[in-house]
């Protein structure tokens, strides 16, 4: 059974530290989990991130993180999904996981009448029809440690896209971002997008049906605090 958790709106660093700690504590019997969350405004810079892609971050914090990729923005109105999966146990390659995240996004968007596809030259999902064809609607950045994945994908639903103008999104100068609210007469709720995406991801990866469970605030705080203590130790 795959456990799916709705974390609602949380600050980025708490969730990052918690999923990192979960990854280090898990063993071969630990459940795979998928965390769905909405973050407070933050720029995150990947391991290979270059300062030149930070143009004018202003009052939005920049967090240096341990995922792949360059800089991106997270904020309210965006669905961020973190697949905490034992890739070795599931016989899932890293490239297969990236492809699954992209394909699940494409399938989810299709449910709502939006045509999109991945690109061979740049991870993520891009519109394929209409005046905004080529604009990016979902960004991916992963980390694998001890054969297990964390970090994940961010899908733009109904958010303020202006902060993306303060960076070169994913390291591409002039990259145009788009969101679901611009493309639909009635935008689905964050929860509807999350549920449809998770269903498509589980189907794509051929994982067991999901059981949605809350993540207790105390456990989230404990995992995060333990990781921060290790980082400072």
- Tens digits of residue pLDDT in 57-115: 999 999 999 998 899 999 999 999 999 999 999 999 999 999 999 999 999 999 999 99
Tell me the pLDDT band of 216, cut-offs 50, 70 and 90. Answer: confident
210 among annotated binding-site residues: no
| Active-site residue list | 170
58 among annotated binding-site residues: no
CA quadruple 165, 106, 192, 131: dihedral positive or negative?
A: positive
115 among annotated binding-site residues: no
| 133: CATH | 3.30.930.10
Give the global pTM: 0.95
Write down how long the chain is: 233
Distance, CA of 144 to CA of 204 (rounded, Å):
19
68 among annotated binding-site residues: yes
133 among annotated binding-site residues: no
Range of the domain at 186: 2-232
Strand partners, 141: 152
Distance, CA of 209 to CA of 127 (rounded, Å):
29
When divided into structural domains, the chain yields a total of 1
């Amino acid at each position: 059974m795959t456990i799916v958790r709705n974390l609602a709106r949380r600050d980025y660093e708490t969730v990052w530290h918690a999923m990192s700690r979960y990854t280090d504590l898990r063993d071969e019997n630990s459940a795979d989990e998928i965390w769905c969350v909405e973050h407070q405004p933050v720029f995150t810079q990947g391991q290979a991130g270059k300062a030149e892609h930070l143009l004018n971050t202003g009052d939005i914090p920049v967090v240096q993180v341990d995922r792949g990729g360059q800089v991106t923005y997270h904020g309210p109105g965006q669905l961020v999904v973190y697949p905490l999966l034992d890739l070795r146990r599931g016989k899932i390659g890293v490239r297969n996981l990236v492809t699954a995240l992209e394909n699940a996004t494409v399938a989810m968007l299709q449910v709502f009448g939006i045509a999109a596809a991945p690109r061979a030259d740049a991870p993520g999902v891009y519109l394929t029809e209409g005046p905004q064809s080529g604009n990016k609607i979902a960004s991916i950045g992963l980390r694998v440690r001890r054969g297990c994945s964390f970090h994940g994908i961010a899908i733009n639903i109904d958010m303020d896209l202006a902060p993306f103008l303060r960076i070169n999104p994913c390291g591409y100068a002039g990259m145009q971002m788009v969101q679901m609210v611009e493309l639909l007469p009635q935008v689905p709720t964050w929860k509807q997008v999350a549920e449809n995406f998770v269903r498509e991801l589980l189907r794509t990866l051929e994982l067991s049906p999901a059981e949605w469970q809350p993540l207790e605030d105390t456990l989230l705080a404990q995992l995060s605090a333990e990781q921060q203590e290790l980082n400072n130790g």
